[in-house]
């Protein structure tokens, strides 16, 4: 008797905002939960050996074991590798198995107990380039599979692996898992590239009307017009509350990949375009949303961030206007740098006082304790660098700069540049602090500046030649801020959300600017 593997580990970003709240396998479409309907169809075909591979929001799918008698397996690599890694988790189940996607809806039951040989389910192509183009030979067997190609058929629906094909494909998946360069491959990519090494697949041709696939939010709306009314979505409710609109007014949803902390998407409503920010995992412990909401109001009143629409100070969801056709901020463009520093001066000299403060060294120490609590393995040079950075922070405090309202995440990606206008966005860390920490953020977070280059732009902030003490103070701030973000990056990694090369960028800023600043304090 055949068995089945259901792939349900993906994040499904393109179905934002719904996928921010539950896995796409749990979407209720035309009255049925997708994965429950799929499992029911498998059971009706006499297939009871079913493995569901989970990853994103995995705990919400564990109930399937008790309620439907399936086996749940967790893919630990779902965030770093594409779905070939999910199929690899269930590789021992591949021989004699149907492989199914949890985001497809079959009008009728496409399964049956014991197929005679391997096959791919295909639908006639409407022409042009398609996601998975399949060519079929005169004997009804698959001749080739091509991603984003042209062919007579498109691959859509379940695939069946005979015992022999399943054993071979399990081995091929293992070989791909050993290659870092294969991280972003779908299992379909592996099949397409290594089709010649597998026993021949047949082509099971069905009518395109028998299968629907939901890759985007608009796909769901086109298939089930009542979906947007019936779906349990706090995010859609938030948008309707803030904009005083109905759910059907929210259109053209597109996920935004930028951002190291949060999930975001843009959408249209009543002729305007907005961005909705959904707070990321683990942010509650390190971000004060009330402080952020206060600073956003200040920024709007000062003309620093005219994009701000609304934020909930308790949960941290935020709504902003989307500015079209912005150009990237350029650290090598002195006009860009001068305009950015002018925004910082406006904030620092505003005289506005927040009841919240942010000390980068204290916050770094707090996160370090969280890392200790998580038994996170700290690098060999961590304690030595922390000792030197602490000495710099102590030196900065002795210089007794009066605290001012700061942005505290003041760097390139948070500047929107369009023509002669510039906005400063993302005020998550804003609070009272040392003015130089905004300069520290500006340099430490990806400017690429050497120590000399950092000193060279300080006159654009001060609008004069800075004093030796001011230079020293700013160099120290760059090191301390770099240290904070370096520790923050390790915390994000401990939470399962690594930030890639940023960790090294911040480490290098802490190390290099500490080496430059510490002797200046010792000499003084």
- pLDDT on residue 283: 63
**What percent of the chain stands above pLDDT 70?**
97
Look-up of token digits 């001066």: 345
pLDDT at 389 over 80: yes
Q: What is the DSSP letter of 274?
A: E
Residues 428 and 287 sit within 8 Å (Cβ to Cβ): yes
Average pLDDT rounded to a whole number, residues 58-83: 93
Cβ density class 164-202: b for 16+ within 10 Å, e for less: ebbbbbbebbeebbeeeebeebbbbbbbbeeeeebebbb
* CA proximity to 362, closest of 278, 495, 487, 220: 487
Domain assignment of residue 444, yes or no: yes
Q: Helices (DSSP H) in 125-274: which residue ranges?
A: 163-177, 187-193, 217-223, 227-230, 234-243
The count of domains in the chain is 2
Residues 514 and 392 sit within 8 Å (Cβ to Cβ): yes
Domain assignment of residue 345, yes or no: yes
Residues 444 and 513 sit within 8 Å (Cβ to Cβ): yes
- pLDDT on residue 260: 47
- Cα distance between the two ends of the chain: 81
Q: Which two tokens stand for residue 285?
A: 């412990």
Residues 309 and 272 sit within 8 Å (Cβ to Cβ): no
d(CA 41, CA 158): 12
Q: How confident is the model at residue 524 (pLDDT cuts 50, 70, 90)?
A: low
How many Cα atoms are found within 13 Å in the side-chain-facing hemisphere of 96? 10
Range of the domain at 171: 3-215
- pLDDT on residue 285: 67
Domain assignment of residue 346, yes or no: yes
- pLDDT on residue 61: 95
The torsion angles phi and psi of 296, rounded to 5 degrees, stand at -65, -40
Q: How confident is the model at residue 291 (pLDDT cuts 50, 70, 90)?
A: very high
Average pLDDT rounded to a whole number, residues 43-59: 94
d(CA 95, CA 98): 9
Among 215, 232, 262, which residue terminates a domain? 215
d(CA 477, CA 436): 6
CATH number at residue 455: 3.90.1200.10
> What's the mean pLDDT when you consider all of the chain?
91
Residue 247 CB: number of other CB atoms within 10 A? 15
- Stretch among 1-5, 84-88, 328-332, 421-425 having the lowest mean pLDDT: 1-5
Say whether both 209 and 336 belong to one domain. Answer: no
What one-character-per-residue DSSP string does 111-167 give? Answer: --S--SS-EEEEEE--SS-EEEEEEE-TTSBEEEEEEEE--SEEEEEEEEE-HHHHH
Say whether both 339 and 207 belong to one domain. Answer: no
Regarding predicted confidence, which is higher, 136 or 296? Answer: 296
Residues 89 and 58 sit within 8 Å (Cβ to Cβ): no
Question: What are the pLDDT digits (tens) for 258-286?
Answer: 554 567 889 999 999 999 998 866 566 66
The torsion angles phi and psi of 259, rounded to 5 degrees, stand at 110, 130
Domain assignment of residue 168, yes or no: yes
Question: What are the pLDDT digits (tens) for 336-362?
Answer: 999 999 999 999 999 999 999 999 999
Domain assignment of residue 244, yes or no: no
Domain assignment of residue 170, yes or no: yes
Question: What are the pLDDT digits (tens) for 207-229?
Answer: 989 998 888 777 887 888 777 77
Task: Provide Rg for the chain, Cα atoms.
Answer: 27
State how beta strands 415-418 and 431-433 pair: unpaired
What one-character-per-residue DSSP string does 428-440 give? Answer: TT-EEE-THHHHH
Q: CA–CA distance from 80 to each of 180, 193, 499 (Å)? A: 10, 21, 11
d(CA 216, CA 228): 13
Contacts of 420 (CB under 8 A, 6+ apart): none
Say whether both 192 and 337 belong to one domain. Answer: no
d(CA 453, CA 489): 25
Say whether both 207 and 332 belong to one domain. Answer: no
Say whether both 342 and 481 belong to one domain. Answer: yes
Among 215, 233, 262, which residue terminates a domain? 215
Say whether both 389 and 513 belong to one domain. Answer: yes
Among 172, 188, 215, which residue terminates a domain? 215
* CA proximity to 117, closest of 68, 58, 70, 166: 166
Q: Which two tokens stand for residue 353?
A: 């006082």
Residues 439 and 462 sit within 8 Å (Cβ to Cβ): no
382's torsion region: left (phi>0), alpha (psi -120 to 50) or beta?
alpha
Q: How confident is the model at residue 1 (pLDDT cuts 50, 70, 90)?
A: low
Q: Helices (DSSP H) in 257-327: which residue ranges?
A: 289-301
Q: Helices (DSSP H) in 302-354: which residue ranges?
A: 334-348
d(CA 486, CA 501): 11
Q: How confident is the model at residue 408 (pLDDT cuts 50, 70, 90)?
A: very high
Domain assignment of residue 147, yes or no: yes
CATH number at residue 151: 3.90.550.10
- pLDDT on residue 356: 96
State how beta strands 97-101 and 153-161 pair: antiparallel
Say whether both 62 and 198 belong to one domain. Answer: yes
Say whether both 332 and 184 belong to one domain. Answer: no
Work out the burial of residue 328: count CB atoms within 10 Å of its CB; fewer than 13 is exposed, 13-18 middle, 19 or more buried: exposed
Domain assignment of residue 272, yes or no: no
Look-up of token digits 């349900």: 8
């Amino acid at each position: 008797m055949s068995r089945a593997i259901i792939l349900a580990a993906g994040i499904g970003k393109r179905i934002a905002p719904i996928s921010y709240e539950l896995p796409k396998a749990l979407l209720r479409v035309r009255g049925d939960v997708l994965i429950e309907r799929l499992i029911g169809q498998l059971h009706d075909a006499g297939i009871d050996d079913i493995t569901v591979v989970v990853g994103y929001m995995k705990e919400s799918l564990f109930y399937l074991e008790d309620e439907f008698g399936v086996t749940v397996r967790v893919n630990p690599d779902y965030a770093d590798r594409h779905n070939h890694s999910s199929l690899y988790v269930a590789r021992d189940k591949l021989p004699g198995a149907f492989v199914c996607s949890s985001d497809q809806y079959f009008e009728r039951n496409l399964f049956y107990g014991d197929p005679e040989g391997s096959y791919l389910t295909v639908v006639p192509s409407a022409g042009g380039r398609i996601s998975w183009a399949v060519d079929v030979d005169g004997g009804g067997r698959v001749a080739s599979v091509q991603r984003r190609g042209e062919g007579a058929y498109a691959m859509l629906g379940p695939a069946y692996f005979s015992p022999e094909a399943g054993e071979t494909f399990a081995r091929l998946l293992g070989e791909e898992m050993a290659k870092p360069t294969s991280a972003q491959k779908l299992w379909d990519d592996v099949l397409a590239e290594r089709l010649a090494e597998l026993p021949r697949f047949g082509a099971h041709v069905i009518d395109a009307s028998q299968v629907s696939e939901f890759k985007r939010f608009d796909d769901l709306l086109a298939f089930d017009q009542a979906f947007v009314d019936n779906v349990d979505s706090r995010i859609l409710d938030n948008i309707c509350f803030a904009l005083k609109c109905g759910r059907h007014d929210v259109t053209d949803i597109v996920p935004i990949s930028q951002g190291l902390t949060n999930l975001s998407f843009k959408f249209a409503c009543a002729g305007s375009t907005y961005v909705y920010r959904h707070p990321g995992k683990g942010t509650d412990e390190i971000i004060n949303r009330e402080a952020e909401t206060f600073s956003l109001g200040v920024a709007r009143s000062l003309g620093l961030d005219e994009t701000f629409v609304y934020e909930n100070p308790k949960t941290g969801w935020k709504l902003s206007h989307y500015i079209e056709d912005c150009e990237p901020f350029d650290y090598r463009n002195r006009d860009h740098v001068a305009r950015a520093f002018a925004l910082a001066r406006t904030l620092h000299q505003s005289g506005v006082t927040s009841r919240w403060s942010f000390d980068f060294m204290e916050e770094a120490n707090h996160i370090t304790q969280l890392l200790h609590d998580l038994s996170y393995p700290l690098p060999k040079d961590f304690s030595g660098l922390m000792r030197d950075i602490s000495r710099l922070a102590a030196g900065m405090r002795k210089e007794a700069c009066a605290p001012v309202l700061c942005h505290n995440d003041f760097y390139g990606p948070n500047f929107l540049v369009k023509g002669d206008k510039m906005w400063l966005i993302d005020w998550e860390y804003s609070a009272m602090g040392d003015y130089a920490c905004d300069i520290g953020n500006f340099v430490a977070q990806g400017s690429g500046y050497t120590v000399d280059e950092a000193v060279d732009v300080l006159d654009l902030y001060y609008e004069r030649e800075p004093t030796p003490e001011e230079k020293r103070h700013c160099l120290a701030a760059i090191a301390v801020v770099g240290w904070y973000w370096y520790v923050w990056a390790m915390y994000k990694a401990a939470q399962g959300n690594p930030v890639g090369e940023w960790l090294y960028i911040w480490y290098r800023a802490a190390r290099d600017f500490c080496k430059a600043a510490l002797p200046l304090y010792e000499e003084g």
